[in-house]
Amino acid sequence: MTDRILIIDFGSQVTQLIARRVRESGVYCEIHPFNSLDASTLERYRPKAIILSGGPSSVMASEAPLAPQAVFEMGVPVLGICYGEQAMCAQLGGTVESSDHREFGRADLEITDDCVLFDGLWSIGSKQQVWMSHGDRVTGLPDGFRTVAVSKGAPFAAIANDERRCYGVQFHPEVVHTLDGAKLLRNFTHHVANCRGDWTMAAFRDQAIAKIKDQVGDGRVICGLSGGVDSSVAAVLLHEAIGDQLTCIFVDHGLLRLNEAEQVVDLFRDHYHIKLVHRDAVDLFLGKLAGETDPETKRKIIGGLFIDVFDEEAHKIGGADFLAQGTLYPDVIESVSFDGGPSVTIKSHHNVGGLPERMNMSLVEPLRELFKDEVRALGRELGLPDDMVGRHPFPGPGLAIRIPGQDITPERLEILRKADHIYLDEIRRAGLYDDIWQAFAVLLPVRTVGVMGDLRSYDYACALRAVTSTDGMTADSFPFEHDFLARTATRIINEVPGINRVTYDVTSKPPGTIEWE
Ligand code: XMP
């Protein structure tokens, strides 16, 4: 059985980063909320070690979140991070107090004693840069613990109990500002917990194939293909596992980029020989979108139609027992929310959220344990071409949300496709594609005056957008050289009839969003 680490989540903003670091060191792990576990679920999970995350609460509060006591009685190593250290201390008989010295940001850690967590990294007496974010702090250690590092605001900045194999750090080793943080976590997983570090994408691929075969048996599976990374990787993985029991359905809504529909058909039908239904629904979608300019209405129309068409095609091929989806781990992790109340909907992204309910089939979700970059690694392992695996995200409603404030017509789509294609071509030529999270053109609802040769032009303006981001939640505009922008603008204006002005969007998110609608 693969070694597994359990991460117990107390609601920190950066819990996912702990999982990322652990997996990067070749060890499988999962995140579970503190209140979802009891002794029997812990027993069944059979972790090699447990990590307690940080969190926004105070151990001093009356209803403070705690780890199930069984965590400390299973005999497996435990590492408490920030709030996790405080909870561990409180639960094992130590004391925690509020401090007037809040430590936030970079801090100096002074190593005061040997510790297996510091092996090969930090020696006694040295100072190390770590990242802190805490108000409360440990003030009295439980029996059997010793202090191994201190900082200005935390007299027990790192603590150890080698006999119990329990460790605590007040800082956050999972964030990059703790310079050796990933190595420290590796010391915990590999040297304290003795994990083998053999969780690779090759191993995952074999396990996933066995799991799919086991789940599906001789049943039939359908899978929606969008041309994006997740559904593509899911489809190829499923095809390896069950061959012709899989049929993919590709609904072409006419809102894709230049040549994208052909590429999907070429790759999956002609190259991989996957059974593929290609439904050209362009007229249907554009017909229903005619006259609509409101972003949310457009999303609803597209999402609803997509489900109808998909369902129709699935019936035509005689239905299936399973619906495959490219759901990823970040969508699965149940986050712990302390502030209650739903957050405001800025945009309704779940375009096809209703599909599983409507179709009443069991779900196959072979990527639900993976982060996005792991899906890319799996795609490479499966031999998918690099330009497919490294693709920027593309929204479900496609180009419909990149023609803001105006009717979506074939002519406008055509203009936008050409401009977008030139922009991405220039980005690739400049070798910048992989440095950018997402880049695209937007056709603006405004015409401007220009001179082309000796003639007056009165054409559309287009905006270029490119952002850097790690998860799409926040983003910065990409700092292109001026020459690049000038060159791209010239090409677009010369090569795309209908556009005579190009602007670059420098808005960050927040306060902007990545898409214009
Ligand atoms: P925003 O514009 O909200 O975008 O900053 C964040 C990320 O989400 C994508 N996006 C969507 N994806 N359906 C999708 O599947 C949508 O309706 C949708 N709207 C935005 C956007 O492209 C970016 O990657």
| Alpha carbon distances (Å) from 354 to 80, 304, 310, 341, 455 | 39, 8, 12, 23, 52
**Closest residue (by CA) to atom 12 of ligand 1?**
395
Mean pLDDT of 368-387: 93
**DSSP-assigned beta bridge partners for residue 418:** none
Pairing of strands 127-134, 103-111: antiparallel
- Peptide bond between residue 173 and the one before it cis (omega within 30 degrees of 0): no
292 is catalytic: no
Distance from residue 275's CA to the centre of ligand 1 (Å): 29
- Band (340; pLDDT cuts 50, 70, 90): very low
In contact, 332 and 373? CB cutoff 8 Å:
no
- Band (341; pLDDT cuts 50, 70, 90): very low
- Residue 336 clears pLDDT 70, i.e. is over it: no
Which candidate in 89, 134, 172, 313 is catalytic? Answer: 172
- Residue 47 clears pLDDT 80, i.e. is over it: yes
**Closest residue (by CA) to atom 4 of ligand 1?**
514
Radius of gyration of the chain measured on its C-alpha atoms: 26
172 is catalytic: yes
pTM value? 0.85
Closest CA to 83 of 114, 45, 112, 57: 57
What tens digit of pLDDT does each residue of 94-108 get? 999 987 778 889 999
Is the C-alpha dihedral spanning 115, 120, 125, 126 positive or negative? negative
Q: Is the CB of 347 inside a 6 Å radius of any atom of ligand 1?
A: yes
Q: Is the CB of 409 inside a 6 Å radius of any atom of ligand 1?
A: no
Q: Is the CB of 349 inside a 6 Å radius of any atom of ligand 1?
A: yes
Closest CA to 310 of 347, 344, 351, 259: 351
What tens digit of pLDDT does each residue of 196-251 get? 999 999 999 999 999 999 999 999 999 999 989 999 999 999 999 999 999 999 99
- Residue 77 clears pLDDT 90, i.e. is over it: yes
What tens digit of pLDDT does each residue of 449-493 get? 999 888 999 999 999 999 999 878 889 999 999 999 999 999 999
Q: Is the CB of 472 inside a 6 Å radius of any atom of ligand 1?
A: yes
Which candidate in 82, 195, 223, 462 is catalytic? Answer: 82
